[in-house]
Structure 1
Amino acid sequence: MATDTTPVPTPLGIPRLSTRDRLVLLVLCAAQFMVALDFSVLNVALPVLGADLGMSQSALQWAVTAFALPSGGFLLLFGRVGDLYGRRRLFLTGLALFGAASLLATFAWDPASFLTGRALQGVGAAAIVPTGMSLLTTTFAEGPARDRALGISGTLLSLGFTVGMVAGGVLTDVLGWRSTMGVLALFALVVLPLAPGLLPESRTPERPRLDVPGAVTVTGGLLSVIYALSTAAERGFGHLDVIVSLVAGSALLTGFALVESRTEAPLVSLPMLRRRTVAWGNVGGLVTFSMMSTVVFVLTLYLQETLRLSAFETGLVFGVQGVLSAVAGTVAARVIGRFGARRTLVGSLAGQGVLTGALLGLDAHVWSVWLATAAVSLASMCHLGAIVSYGLTVTSGVPDAEQGLATGLVTSTQQVGITIGIPLLGVLATTSSDLLTGLHTVLAVDTAIVLAVALLVGLGLRGRGTDAATVSGAVEAQPLDAR
C-alpha cells in the first residue's frame, strides 16, 4: 500500500504534513539527531574520561577515531544492503546495536570495553544514517513535501552537532563523562519502540546478488582513508602508518572503480556517479562540511586560548550558531521551492565563503567575540542551506530502488567531509608561530576553497534538468509501496 504524502498547501505555501507523516519524520529525525549528537558530545569529556579509565593522552584520539572509522567506512555498504534486503529492517537493527553499544560505553570498565562500545556505535550509525535518509526520501514524494522533510532533517543534523558541543560540557560537569554516553542510549531506547509501527518497509523489487568484491574494496578503502586522515590530525602526514594507510586506501578505491566497471550488479552504479547532479552535488556537500568543521575547530581554539573564554562561554557562542541554524532550517524548503536546489546550493556556498572571510577581521581584543559570534552563526545558516540543497540535488530524480545508494553517497560525503577538514587545514593553526596567525591562514585558505567550489558547482550544474522537482514539485517520484 503506497504512502500518501501529497502535501496540503497552507496559506504561506508551505506543505502541511499529515499526523502520520509527522510521526514518521519525528522518528527518523530523532535517530539522525542522536547520531549527530554522538559526533561532538564526548569531545569536552575526553580529559576526564582518560583519567577515569587510565587512557593516555595519545590514546584519547581513539575515543573519536573508533567511532569515525566504522561510521564512515560502512555507509555505502549498508546503504546498498538496505536497498536489497529492507531499509526498515536494517534501520531497526542499527538502532538496537547503537543503543546496546551506548550502554556498553556508559558502563565501560577499562579502555578496551569503552573503545569496543564506541566502535559498535559507529557500526550502528553506519546502518542508521543511510537507511534513515532513504526511508525519508522514499516516504516523502519528490517536491515540496520532501523539500520540507529534508529541511527539518538537515536542521537537526546541524543542531545535533552544536548541541553536543554545549551539552557535553554541562553533562560532564554535573553528572560525569558517562552521562554523555548514557544520553545516547536513552535516545535509542525511546526511538526504537516507536519505529516498527510507523516506518514502512522498502527495498528494491529485484533481488540481485550483493557485489562482494566491490563491498570489500570500497569499505577497506574508506576505512583506510578515514583512519589516515583522523590519525594525521594528531601525528601529522609524515607518520609511517598515515602514509601506508593513504596508499592502501587509494589503491583499494582504485580497485573498487575497476571492479564496479566490470560487474553486472555493481555496489555503486558508475552511470549514477556520472550524473552531474550526483557528482557536483557531492562536491558541494564535501566542501561545505569539511570547511565548516574546520572553522568550528579553529574558532574553538581561538575563543579559549586567545580570548581566554571559558568552555561554557565558548559553548554559548556556538549555541547562538545552533539557534540560527535551526531558523535556517525552517526557511530552507521555502528558499529551495522558490529558487531551486542548484541555485540554493551555489548561493549557500558563496554565502558561507564570504562570511568565513569576514572572520579574517578577528584579532586579540575581546570585542572580537561579537564578530566571531555573528559571522560564524550567519555562515552556519548558509551551511545549513547547502546541506539541505546538496542532499536534494544528489537524490532528485534517482529511482526509489537506488535511493539507498544515493543517500549512502550523501552521508559518506558528510562523514568524509567532517573527517578531512580538520587534519587538512586545522594543522595550520596548531603549528603556526602563534595561534592568531595560524587562524588567519586557515580562514583565508578556507574562504578561497569554498568560493572556488561555489563557482565550479555553479558551472558544473548549468543547464536544464539540474533543478528537477525542486522549484514547483511538478515532477514527482512515486513513493515505493510499503512491504
Structure 2
Amino acid sequence: MTVQTTVPVGGRVREGRTLAVVSAATMLALMNYNATFSTLAAMARDLNAGTAGQTWILGGIALGTAVLLLAVGGLADDHGRKRVFVAGAGTLAASSVVCAVAPTTTAFVVGRLLQGGATAALLAAGLGLIGHAFPAGPERARATGMWGAMLGLGIALGPEASAGLAEVAGWRAWYVAAAVASVALAAAAGAALRESRAEARRRADAAGVLTLGLGVAALLGAITLGRGGWARAEVLALLAAAVALLAAFVVVESRTREPLLDLRLLRRADFAVATGGAFVTGVAVIGLMSYLPTVVGRVLGAPPLLAGAVLTLWSGVAFVVSLQVRRLAAEGRHLIAAGLVLCALGDLALIGLSADWGWWRLVPGLVVSGAGSGLLNAALARMAVESVPPSRTAMGSGANNTARYIGASIGVAVVVAMATSGPSPTRGADVALAVCAAIALAGALAALAVRRGR
C-alpha cells in the first residue's frame, strides 16, 4: 500500500483502528463542545453567572479551539500526530475535571478554554492521522466521510447527553463522564495508533503562532463581548487589535522560510474552496443551528430538552448523509456548493415559524438542511487533507477547522443580534434565516466560480 510519509501504516486492521479511535475522539469532542447548550440555565444559577458570564460559558471553548487549531496542526505534522492526539485526549480529561469542580464562572470558563485547546489537538491531529493512513481515493473518501459523520453525531448527542445526566446527577455529571471517556480515549490511542510525521521536520514558526493566536483571540473576544453592545470601547479596542495582529500574521508568513501557513496555498483552487467553504459553513450553518433551538423554545414554548431535539434531528440527518457521500463521484467543490444550497433551502423552509406551528412543520426544513450539512462535513474533511501537500495533512485540517470555528463564532453573534432585534422572536428569526440562506447561496456560487486551474 502506498503511503505518504516516511512512517508506514500497515494493513487494514491498523487503518481500521486508526479510523475507530479518531472517529470516537471526534464524536466526544463535538459532544463536549455542545454540552452547555442544554444546561446553561442551571449552570448560570449555580455559578452566579450574569449575562456576560453566560456568554463566556457558551463561547469559551470556541475561543480555545479556534486559537490553537492551526498551530497544533503544524505541531502535529512536525513532531508527531499521535503524540499531539494523545496529549489532546489527556488535556481534555484534565480540563473536564476543572469544569466539573469549578466553584465560579471564571474557573469554569478557564476549564472550557483548556477544553478548546484539547479539542483543537484532537480535530487537527485526528484528521491528519486519517489523511496519512488512507491514500487518496475511495478509501480516503470513506474515512473522511466517517469523520464528517462523527461531527454530526457529536452535535446530535452532546446536548441530549448533557441534559440527561443533569436530570439524574446535575450539570457537573457530564464533565465527570467526559473526563473518564477522555482517559479511555488516551489509552486506546496509545495502544492503537501508529506515529506519523512529516519527512522533514521544520523549525517552529513562533512569530506566526503568536500573531495568529493573539489575533484570533482578540477577534473572538470582541465577537463574544460584542453581543452585549458593539460600540463599547473594549469591543472596538479588541477589533482594532485583531486587525493589526492578523495583518502582522500575513506579513510574517509571507517573509518566513518555513511558515505556519504557506499563503501560496490560497492560490490553489481546492484549498481556497475548502477554506472558504468552511468559513461560510461556520457563519451560515453552524452559527444558525447553534441558536435555533433557543428560538424554537421561545416561539413554541418548548422545554430545553425538547427544543434540543431540533439540533438532534438536523445533525442526525447530517450523520446519515455524511456516511453516504463516498458513493458520490462529484468533485469536492461541487459537493460543497450542493451542500450550501441545501442548507439555504432548509433555512427558507423554516421562515414563518410561529406559535401556531406544530412540530411536524419543522421537519422538512431540518431534514433538507441536515442533508446539506452532511454533504459539507464529508466534503470539507476530504478537501482539507487533499488540498495540501501529503506531509501537511494536520495543518490542512487545522486551517480548515480554524476557518469553520471562526465563522461559527461570527455566525452565532450575527444570528443572536438579528433574532433578538426584531419586534418579536418570530420576526427576528425570519430575518436570521433569510440572511443565513443568502450567505449560504453566495458561498455556493463562489465555490462554483473558482476555476480549477487557478
Q: TM-score, normalised by structure 1?
A: 0.88
Q: Deviations over 1:129-164 (max 9, x none)?
A: 211111111111111111111111111112211211
| Structure 2 counterpart of 1:326, from 301, 304, 319 | 319
* Residue pairs, 1:84-483, within 5 angstroms: 84-233=78-227, 235-335=228-328, 338-367=329-358, 369-460=359-450, 462-463=451-452
Classify 1:191/1:394 alpha carbon distance in 2 versus 1 (closer, same or farther; 3 Å). closer
SS in 2 for 1:74: helix
Listed as ranges, the matches of 1:58-97 within 5 Å are 58-97=52-91
Structure 2 distance, partners of 1:39, 1:289, is 14
- Residue in 2 that maps onto 1:12: none
Deviates more, 1:41-50 or 1:79-88: 41-50
| CA distance in 1 between partners of 2:201 and 2:295 (Å) | 53
Q: Deviations over 1:314-337 (max 9, x none)?
A: 2333332233222112211112xx
Contact 1:24-1:199 at 8 Å conserved across structures: yes
* C-alpha distance after superposition, 1:403-445 (max 9, x if no partner): 1221111111121122110112331111111111111111111
Q: Distance in 2 between matches of 1:433 and 1:75?
A: 39
CA distance in 1: counterparts of 2:354 and 2:104, whole angstroms: 43
Retained in 1: the 8 A contact 2:66–2:216?
yes
* 1:197, distance to aligned residue in structure 2 (A): 2.2
- Number of residue pairs matched by the alignment: 448
- Residues 69-93 of structure 1, C-alpha deviation per residue, up to 9 Å, x if partnerless? 2211011111111111111111111
CA contact (8 A) 1:90 1:127 kept: yes
Aligned position for 1:55 = 49
Aligned-residue identity in percent: 27
For 1:19 and 1:298, how far apart are their aligned partners in 2? 41
TM-score by length of 2: 0.94
Paired residue secondary structure (2:224): helix
Flag as ranges the 4+ runs of structure 1 deviating above 4 A. Answer: none
User: How has the CA–CA distance of structure 1 residues 353 and 366 changed in structure 2, closer, same or farther, with 3 Å as cutoff?
Assistant: closer
Contact conserved, 1:150 with 1:388, CA < 8 A, in 2? yes
Larger mean CA deviation between 164-173 and 293-302 belongs to 293-302
The answer to whether the 8 A contact 2:316-2:370 is kept is: no
C-alpha RMSD of matched pairs (Å): 1.8
Deviation for aligned residue 1:99? 0.5
**CA-to-aligned-CA distance 1:197-220 (integer Å, 9 cap, x gap):** 221211222222111111111111
Q: 1:230 to 1:111 in 2, by over 3 A?
A: closer
> What letter matches 1:106 in structure 2?
A
Q: Aligned-pair distance for 1:298?
A: 4.5
> Which residue does the alignment assign to 1:11?
none
Is the Cα–Cα contact under 8 Å of residues 297 and 426 in structure 1 kept in the other structure?
no
